[in-house]
Amino acid sequence: MSWDAGDIAEQLADRLRDAISCAFPGHTAPAALRPSAKPEFGDFQASFAMALGKTLGRNPREVAAETLACAHLEDLVEKAEIAGPGFVNLTLTLSALTRALAEHDSPTLGVPSCSAQTHPVAIDLCGVNVAKQMHVGHLRATIIGDTLARVHERLGFKVFRQNHLGDWGLPIAMTLTALRRDATDLDTITLEDLNRAYRNAQAQGAADEAGLAAAVSMGCGPHRIAELTEQNEGAAQTIADAKRTLVALQSGDAAAVADWKRLIECTMREVYQVAHTLNVALSDDNNRGESFYRDELAGVVDEFQSKGVAREDAGAIVVPFPDRERPLLIRKGDGGFLYATTDLAAVRYRVQSLGSARVIYVVDARQRDHFRDVFEAVRLIGWDMLPDGTRAQLVHLPFGAVLGKDKRPLKTRSGENFTLKALLDEAIERGRREVHARAAAPDAPTHSLDPKALDAIGQAVGIAAVKYADMSSDVTRDYVFDLDRMVSFEGDTGPYIQYAHARIASMMTKYSQGAGATKEQSQSLIHPIEPSERLLALALLRYGAALETSARELQPARVCAYLFDLANLFNAFYQACPVLKCPDESVRESRLRLAALTRRTIADGLTVLGIEAPERM
């Protein structure tokens, strides 16, 4: 994957690479350029000289000096110093920084475009099962997948969101059979009713042959043996009835298919409601469930066999791997297919039909071995190869669990799994409570708002708290769901970022209603002279790089960390540099434009995370 690059850091890196080639013909090396850890060391620091010096057998400081002698940095760098064992510290000229900010202050906000990429990206997200309520695990699969889709879209990629519904097979047929037997009105059924029916159907289909054999051998009373016999006979009948329903579905029976679609509609109503609450882009167009691939499964197995990638093993069809004993089972001995068969068909569709050069599965860590096997099987048969010779990147992004304060999987007080809807309702309630409490203060910006408007802000705060907390650390790790910390307006939280945005918006409103209302705001350039201004300006220029890194590493945390840093730098700038009360008009105009650019960047970054950016808080 390649990125368009044109920011000032890339210009510096390019010129240093050219200088290395000039100073040491036949040798190339990356500039190893990064933002300086401390302002007193300049704006950027390059560490190329240490590695290159080792290659050349030369003193790194001498290598750095000879490189700088060949570098043409006059229009970009005010001061270049060699420090320590051979670090090169670079301080930009004010004019170069001003020009860079002017270019950044555009609709793109300096974000590079990958629109020239010929291949799209497919992202597997959400992954709900029909007839089952969404739980906290679906929170992570949904918002992480949506954010990665947004990051790629912001960079100009075409993205296919793929919601792999569990909407086919015997469990669904069992549920449908039970509902039809009870003459349930499927037009009015709720997902809670449907979930209950699903659990009951599973229980009714559960035989206990081992228990019956043990009861007989141990001489248990006739009552216990009769109970187990009745249970097993009932389970066998339940399974037989469900198989007849499944055959009817497979043959396209109109009545059975119509009822099956009602189960999907009932399930997806709540899924779409949750997605809307979470500000996640998800619709019918994204649904590619197991049923979508059902007619392709036999062909998948046949092709694996015909190409010699799969073999028969005791009546089953398996894909063996050269580096491990455990094969991948793709057809059972009774002719039935498995999840792996469906996933193979899904990968083929996403690469060969959609043309995706990157296929990302946002699925919990327990599926790690499964996807390892599926992806290896895809590579063995060559389905990861696109017609132009591009080999698609197949990635499983495993996420950790959501834990309670006791560091155990999050449960309700009764010990049951939290439904996602209940969790979000609680977060929204906490957000609203916090916003209403703050609005009670007479000097609060929201004091004059009506309760409905405060509720809307509170919901945005509650959802931001949940989403930011989920994505602000490495997604592969478990994290503790702690609303007390997450809803805070201070610290590394979503509401803190939102509040920084609202604070700037409030300042801009005051300007437009005050002295600024009498004239059009000047389009003069931003001149970041004070240290806190300069640090904020340099951070703004890193926005595009933060998005690139997030997409490359598949880590929304990179965007979160960038926004948190930007909010902190703005607050430091705001404390150190008067804006509205600055007596010098040209300085005031420069700082207003710097603040406005910061607001736009924070708003854009929050949008990438699928988080609202309220104007007042």
Q: Which residues pair with 91 in a beta bridge?
A: 79
> Is the CB of residue 469 less than 8 Å from the CB of residue 424?
no
Phi, psi of 377 (to 5 degrees): -65, -40
pLDDT score recorded for residue 214: 58
pLDDT score recorded for residue 352: 97
pLDDT over threshold 70, residue 118: yes
Residue 522 DSSP class? P
- Report all structural domains of the chain as residue ranges with CATH numbers, in order of start: 8-92 (3.30.1360.70), 167-280 (no CATH)
pLDDT in tens, 377-436: 999 999 999 999 999 999 999 999 999 888 887 875 555 667 899 999 999 999 999 999
What three-state secondary structure class fits 389?
Answer: coil
pLDDT in tens, 363-389: 999 999 999 999 999 999 999 999 999
Closest alpha carbon to 82 in 97, 93, 67: 67
pLDDT in tens, 310-354: 999 999 999 999 988 999 999 999 898 999 999 999 999 999 999
The pLDDT confidence band at residue 98, using thresholds 50, 70 and 90, is: very high
- Please spell the DSSP secondary structure of 318-358, one letter per residue: EEEETTEEEEEEEE-TTS-B-HHHHHHHHHHIIIIIT--SE
Beta strands in 437-480 (DSSP E): 479-480
pLDDT over threshold 80, residue 106: yes
> Is the CB of residue 68 less than 8 Å from the CB of residue 19?
yes
Residue 133 DSSP class? -
pLDDT in tens, 453-509: 999 999 999 999 999 999 999 999 999 999 889 999 999 999 999 999 999 999 999
pLDDT score recorded for residue 514: 73
Q: Which two tokens stand for residue 308?
A: 């010699």
Question: What is the C-alpha separation between 1 and 7, in angstroms, rounded?
Answer: 18
Contacts of 290 (CB under 8 A, 6+ apart): 164, 165, 166, 167, 168, 169, 342
pLDDT score recorded for residue 406: 85
pLDDT score recorded for residue 3: 33
Chain center to CA of 494: 15
Q: Sheet of 311-313: strands edge to edge? A: 311-313, 316-321, 324-331
pLDDT in tens, 346-364: 999 999 999 999 999 999 9
Closest alpha carbon to 145 in 128, 162, 169, 130: 162
Contacts of 377 (CB under 8 A, 6+ apart): 304, 309, 319, 328, 330, 340, 344
| Mean pLDDT calculated for residue range 157-163 | 97
Q: Sheet of 87-92: strands edge to edge? A: 33-35, 44-46, 87-92, 77-83
pLDDT over threshold 70, residue 522: no
Question: What is the C-alpha separation between 541 and 109, in angstroms, rounded?
Answer: 8
> Is the CB of residue 243 less than 8 Å from the CB of residue 173?
yes
Chain center to CA of 219: 57
> Is the CB of residue 350 less than 8 Å from the CB of residue 162?
yes
> Is the CB of residue 522 less than 8 Å from the CB of residue 126?
no
pLDDT score recorded for residue 466: 96
